[in-house]
Structure 1
């Protein structure tokens, strides 16, 4: 089943919308398969800039800085809607360049990461982080994307 999500692009320099729809759909489909789920509630995928990410991060997390991805799970009473995932253009592109990976692969990773947050996963403890990273690796491997944590210092 093709995942149902709204795509909002409100910043320049992202890949074309059809490519974002494709990689977003693949990332969610792969995440669902990794989690053993057949479908998901609808959600929104926002491609914005670092200024908006800083505003969101400040408003909702009291962290006055831009970040690569934010996930906002919907309230339990909001049946049929999973939540929102937002990505910040400048940070995403900078990180991809620093890691020497294609931007589209980094986008896929961050969509998987955000989707796992919407499914209730977190990385506040080392055990949670290990579980979440393992799921991310599997979902990305199913897409033919290399381990995003390879070479990271533990």
Structure 2
């Protein structure tokens, strides 16, 4: 599934455990259908209840969809790192937020990091498809 803002792919994150799972699924559906305000409300409740990076990523997507690039950047930064590699969806979301804030150089830097990860990953690693999607989203936004 690919969303309209960041090339969002639910496979980029593990599911949130516990009762929050249904709310996360609901937020994903709302984002996929473009209902950012409703998704943002659901996610606001979740942010206080979990430290999940997935929830923060989705909150970033919702904020970006609502035109709040500053808020989106904050949530994408909170969801960014997995070990030494950034989540491709979070990185592309952060790049889009930077573009909307007028920071094209920062977005170019993020694109370079994505390309570097792609080069190291190759075409057969588990991150290949999300990296390809993230790079395409950022390249299109910068064009």
TM exceeding 0.5:
no
Larger RCO, structure (CA 8 Å, separation 6 or more): 1
Greater helix proportion: 2
TM-score by length of 1: 0.30
